[in-house]
Structure 1
Amino acid sequence: MQISYFLLPKEQVAYITSSISMMEAMEDLERHHYTAIPIIDEEGKYVGTLSEGDLLWKLKNSFNLDFEAMRDIPISQLQRRVHNESVEITANMEDMLTLAADQNFVPVVDSMGIFLGIIRRKDIIAYYTDNITD
């Protein structure tokens, strides 16, 4: 089986660009009910994952930072504490499953690092639950 079987394509995935502000990122997380969201750059390459915790730590550790000031801080200035490793679409299942064991989702890229979508751990579990019998 190829990992593309589990791919949720970019067109169906909420993601943010590396140039948006903290406030825009927070609004996107809230709108999609996510706790973490993939970040892509202007070229469409996967650059990391932003979590709610990243936003909260920035708020906590920044003197006099309020919600309005968050409009002026690009997410590229935030320290990200969680690193969701990506996997190439041509990778083998074992590599993808190793990442999925530790990540809620695995970002999928092509050989140039262009973001193609994600593989959700819940979809992997559902597949194996439905297809493994005693």
Structure 2
Amino acid sequence: MIAKEFEDFLLNYTEHYLIPSKDLAIVVDTHNMDHVLLLITSNGYSRIPVISKEKIYCGTVSISDIMSYQADNNLAAWELSQTDVAVAVNDKVETILADAPLTEIMHKLVDNPFLPVLDSDKHFMGIITRKSILKAVNALLHDFTEDYDITPKEKHDN
């Protein structure tokens, strides 16, 4: 459990945690693989979110997901280029709901560089990155005493 004072401090940074979907490279599940590969490689991303036309989160996709699909299905480059990305989506990536507690976010970010954020209807809202949380923790470590006093508890002799 996170100490209440630390959680309150970190929650002041919540607007900095979420990178909204409008600011991200995202693909629709009906986009062809050529488009997706171009987007991933030209932006240097390792993995990008995939949504439906209704903005429902489908999963994420990476170059290795696409190459694995191509190899598993013995597809020539021209066949792959005409294939919808939906078939290569990794739907096993951890996600969180928009109202997830900070503790859950922190636990999931230990093993994930980012977490897709969904509303209760599974619409994709954006991502929270490990980097954004680390920036808030950095602020906590440097600025906490501007708003809070820290006093050690007295030790009781038994």
Does TM, normalized by the shorter one, top 0.5?
yes
Contact 1:23 1:67 in 2 (8 A): no
Task: Indicate the residue corresponding to 2:156 in structure 1.
Answer: none
Distance 1:119 1:25 in 2: 22
Rounded Cα–Cα distance in structure 1 between residues aligned with 2:112 and 2:28: 20
More deviation in 18-27 or 122-131?
122-131
TM-score with structure 1 setting the length: 0.87
Residues 4 and 112 of structure 1, relative CA distance in 2, 3 Å threshold: farther
1:30-61 CA deviation, whole Å, 9 max, x = no partner?
12210100111111011111122101212222
Residues 61 and 13 (structure 1), Cα distance of their counterparts in 2 relative to 1, 3 Å cut: same
Aligned to 2:84: 74
Aligned length: 132
For the aligned residue pairs, the C-alpha RMSD in angstroms reads 2.0
Identity of matched residues, %: 23
Q: Which residue of 2 aligns with 1:28?
A: 39
Structure 2 CA distance, aligned partners of 1:108 and 1:18? 18
Could you say which structure has the greater relative contact order, defined with CA pairs below 8 angstroms and 6 or more residues apart? 1
Q: Which residue of 2 aligns with 1:41?
A: 52
Give, in whole Å, the separation in 1 of the partners of 2:99 and 2:24: 20
| Structure ranking higher in helix proportion | 2
Aligned match of 2:93: 84
* Equivalent residue, structure 1, for 2:134: 125
Determine if contact 2:118/2:125 at 8 Å carries over to the other structure: yes
The runs of 5 or more residues in structure 2 that have no matched partner are: 1-10, 143-158
